[in-house]
Amino acid sequence: MRTLLTETELQKGVSKMAAKIEETYSGRQLTIVGILTGSIVLLADLIRLIDIPMRVGVIEASSYRGATTERGELTINSELLIDIADRDVLLVDDIFDTGHTITRVIEKMRELGPNSIHSAVLLHKKERQEVDYTPDYSAFHIPNEFVVGYGLDYEDMYRNLPFLGVLEEADLEKHASLA
């Protein structure tokens, strides 16, 4: 596996993004909502780095299943979502790829009456973007490569890696032999 971003690089990028978020919301209470499951690592790091009053919740959204890297039908489950009415909300996701997931989740959340909704992503793949929306905060812009680690997965594996890696053919063959 080839390393795209080291653990140290990830920490620095997330810290810089957290500082910008904290500056924006200084003096206000924030409701941070992570999109399950990929945002868990980023969400945990952000809430420890942002020193303002906050509420934390999650929403489930998925458009990838199994070994595919192609987007499928998006499903959104908001049953786990905390009350966001009349709140300033920061939606956190692992990656902004085509942009369809985050824009659809924002649409769904707007129906619940928040004061504002902004977004923060660890990674932004500008080359793959298909929607007219740009995340308010992003830690890194990356090339159009399939990445794992720091919450991102391949077949629900590799989320625990402390770095961001690019799976190569040998990694996929090894993965397939363990399945």
Per DSSP bridges, beta strands 54-62 and 30-36 are parallel
Q: Tokens at residue 106, please?
A: 């924002």
Q: Is 97 a catalytic residue?
A: yes
The phi, psi pair for 159, rounded to 5°, reads: -60, -30
CB atoms within 10 A of CB 80: 11
Active-site option among 51, 83, 97, 136 = 97
User: In what order do the strands lie in the sheet containing 88-96?
Assistant: 75-77, 54-62, 30-36, 88-96, 116-124, 137-141
As a whole number of angstroms, the distance between CA 67 and CA 148 comes to 13
Known catalytic residues are 97
